[in-house]
Structure 1
């Protein structure tokens, strides 16, 4: 019988090979490194092979249990290769989402995946995974393309493909029909994030935010975003427990790149933290929802606030604070690696990720304070800041 260690350490060879377990179960190892649990049997005098699952998605113990169920089906003259009707698209998709949550995918990422799948569920949610065809998926995607949501359609196709690949890995699908749709969708136009990068425009933006007449929490969030230039989703999900002294330590599961991130807090940022603490200190989140203090601020809140301040969608968005800071900091001659690390972009060499974080932290601390001071100087400057048009 096989052991977990033998399965885990099985290496690919020039040709496919088998590792036998017991009672007919074996591990089929391909040259690509793929490992499948299989069982050969006869049904109606025909020799057949049942693919039980793919390792490591299906463990040794799970494969043995599935083998027991397959043999039980054969004893009742039922072909174990027949897929259960309960393996609907929604069942498999929700199971896949749960797997991603367990692996620590960031909350904003999970929200987007669920939002995309919500477009597909009414049409294919109750369909058996094995019965869904490429033309059927295309009709679903066309419903997104109709109102011009080309980027959303593109992303949904990718999510659908990942669900089907998970279904293949867990032996509930045989192929990925979404893969057949590459090139069938309208290519979205590449759009750059709207952002102010000129000092006069930045000054106008800062003064408008300082004079925001709406919720104090929203005002503090916009001011904090200008100082820290994190991704909006990271800011919305910031919790009080993550504020440690003069640093905001963002856990890996909240980051797009799945790496823990340190945001050095300037004096100005710490002042905003204390202002927010005075009104939100009993909440879970630093900048909570206006509806419930135990929920994060909603995704569109900051962009809606910018529209209320008079900034058009093609002028400035909440993500644009990152472009704004990156552009100015590069022109201020800060080390490009320090800027990139503070933006939490993925290092070219992943092995250096932790090293880079330690190497540039002192410079990032100085840079973040200099950036906050620069914004203060813009506020005080006499340069023309009146908006036109």
Structure 2
């Protein structure tokens, strides 16, 4: 019959005196407190593995672990044994999981997610994404284990961004964090995507478009550009006129080298590598873009060639001619013309799209191809971009004629099937 061990009292444990060697004071059921020569008292529990080997679990020091705590831990361990679970292995697994949780911080997981995404992004997108995470996210929650982050932490972080007026950035980073949490769940590092439960914590952002003037505002815009009271350099004025005439993306215009333009043939073909969809890492669109030059656009390019034709770029940087013009130059020029917040580089594309469709009568598909937009469905994407090339050349000339008529104060009227009937008054004598 097993020996009955009377349970310890709180006073016995509290008054236990140290000896030259460690000794044990048993509480029963394998629980004991080991008194060390230093005077510290450690709660341990003695048990046997399924194979009969003896082992001991350390529950912790007294009085940090009270007698009641130690007895509850003994009971928990006994329950594990009755379920066929090794208490020592269970303890080691728990320690390992805790260590993994602590190691898998939000920043660590975010950088893994980022590394997986980088091959599908452009260099610019990759750089901007990392800069934004390092500036706004990592300083706040980067060191926190991703599985332990709470809703409130994320709300405080996002609202701080929102409070400085960066509402759009706050919404974008919320979406980015959602992707990171989703990645963590797929890797078994988190159980829940907290961002999915946070639909209304930020101010609702209004749907916005790039600022662009309307067709009715063209006469005033062209008059201001012509009078040049903003005292812009000639290449800058030519750049703005070309944006009106050919409505390529700003970067596609200002980064153009003269080698892409054939003034003799009147051709300008932008290699697919310079186009927005050509820069995609996955499935880039390898279609060269035909700009389709009107007589007016070609005349401007020839005029520009007399100014910058000796260099690499159509629009060189004034400080370093081996670099292209800064994108900000055109925005500053528009601001000086009085169009700050009312017109952007992308606004020329929106203006052309709406006006050519509404006032010149061209089909959306033709204008869309000239804008080098991606086809919205798989059937359309099977066709080459040059499918509408003849129609696009005709359209671009009619667009240039339309702008010329507007600037002269005439009233161009749309004809049938995209043809333009120019109703002009007699020339002034």
The correspondence for 2:372, drawn from 344, 362, 381, is 344
Question: Could you give the per-residue CA deviations for residues 277-310 of structure 1, whole angstroms, max 9, x where no partner exists?
Answer: 9537645x65455555566655544322211111
Query: What does residue 334 of structure 2 align with?
Result: 306
Query: What does residue 328 of structure 1 align with?
Result: 355
* 3-state secondary structure, aligned to 1:246: strand
Contact 1:154–1:185 (8 Å) recurs in 2:
yes
CA positional deviation for 1:143: 1.6
Contact 1:230–1:322 (8 Å) recurs in 2:
yes
Question: Could you give the per-residue CA deviations for residues 136-163 of structure 1, whole angstroms, max 9, x where no partner exists?
Answer: 2221211222144333321221122223
In 2 relative to 1, CA 288–185 (structure 1 residues): closer, same or farther, beyond 3 Å? farther
Aligned equivalents of 1:92, 1:253: Cα separation in 2? 33
CA positional deviation for 1:177: 2.7
In 2 relative to 1, CA 371–167 (structure 1 residues): closer, same or farther, beyond 3 Å? farther
Higher mean alpha-carbon deviation, 232-241 vs 147-156, is at 232-241
In 2 relative to 1, CA 111–230 (structure 1 residues): closer, same or farther, beyond 3 Å? farther
The correspondence for 1:375, drawn from 403, 407, 413, is 403
Structure 1 spans left out of the alignment, 5+ residues = 1-41, 49-73, 384-389
Query: What does residue 208 of structure 2 align with?
Result: 191
- Residues 1:247 and 2:274 aligned together: no
- Residues 1:316 and 2:368 aligned together: no
Query: What does residue 163 of structure 2 align with?
Result: 146
In 2 relative to 1, CA 334–172 (structure 1 residues): closer, same or farther, beyond 3 Å? same
* 3-state secondary structure, aligned to 2:271: strand
Q: TM-score, normalised by structure 1?
A: 0.64
Contact 2:103–2:145 (8 Å) recurs in 1:
yes
Contact 1:217–1:276 (8 Å) recurs in 2:
no
CA positional deviation for 1:182: 2.1
Question: Could you give the per-residue CA deviations for residues 147-203 of structure 1, whole angstroms, max 9, x where no partner exists?
Answer: 44333321221122223334455666554333332222111122343322235x213
- Residues 1:203 and 2:219 aligned together: yes
Query: What does residue 279 of structure 1 align with?
Result: 308
* 3-state secondary structure, aligned to 1:158: helix
CA positional deviation for 1:271: 4.7
Contact 1:237–1:296 (8 Å) recurs in 2:
yes
Contact 1:264–1:364 (8 Å) recurs in 2:
no
The correspondence for 2:175, drawn from 145, 158, 163, is 158
Contact 1:236–1:297 (8 Å) recurs in 2:
yes
Aligned equivalents of 2:316, 2:137: Cα separation in 1? 30
Query: Rg: which structure is higher?
Result: 2
Question: Could you give the per-residue CA deviations for residues 206-236 of structure 1, whole angstroms, max 9, x where no partner exists?
Answer: 3433535235554343222222223445545
Query: What does residue 26 of structure 1 align with?
Result: none
Higher mean alpha-carbon deviation, 204-213 vs 286-295, is at 286-295
In 2 relative to 1, CA 252–374 (structure 1 residues): closer, same or farther, beyond 3 Å? same
Q: Where do residues 211-226 of structure 1 align in structure 2 (5 Å cutoff)?
A: 211=228, 213-226=231-244
Aligned equivalents of 1:152, 1:133: Cα separation in 2? 21
Aligned equivalents of 1:43, 1:289: Cα separation in 2? 72
Query: What does residue 247 of structure 2 align with?
Result: 229
**Larger relative CO (CA 8 A, sep 6+): 1 or 2?**
1
Query: What does residue 7 of structure 1 align with?
Result: none
Contact 2:308–2:315 (8 Å) recurs in 1:
no
Aligned equivalents of 1:195, 1:86: Cα separation in 2? 49
In 2 relative to 1, CA 354–243 (structure 1 residues): closer, same or farther, beyond 3 Å? farther
Contact 2:210–2:347 (8 Å) recurs in 1:
yes
Q: TM-score, normalised by structure 2?
A: 0.59
Contact 2:270–2:291 (8 Å) recurs in 1:
yes
Aligned equivalents of 1:280, 1:300: Cα separation in 2? 22
Aligned equivalents of 2:306, 2:378: Cα separation in 1? 36
Aligned equivalents of 1:372, 1:96: Cα separation in 2? 48
* 3-state secondary structure, aligned to 1:208: helix
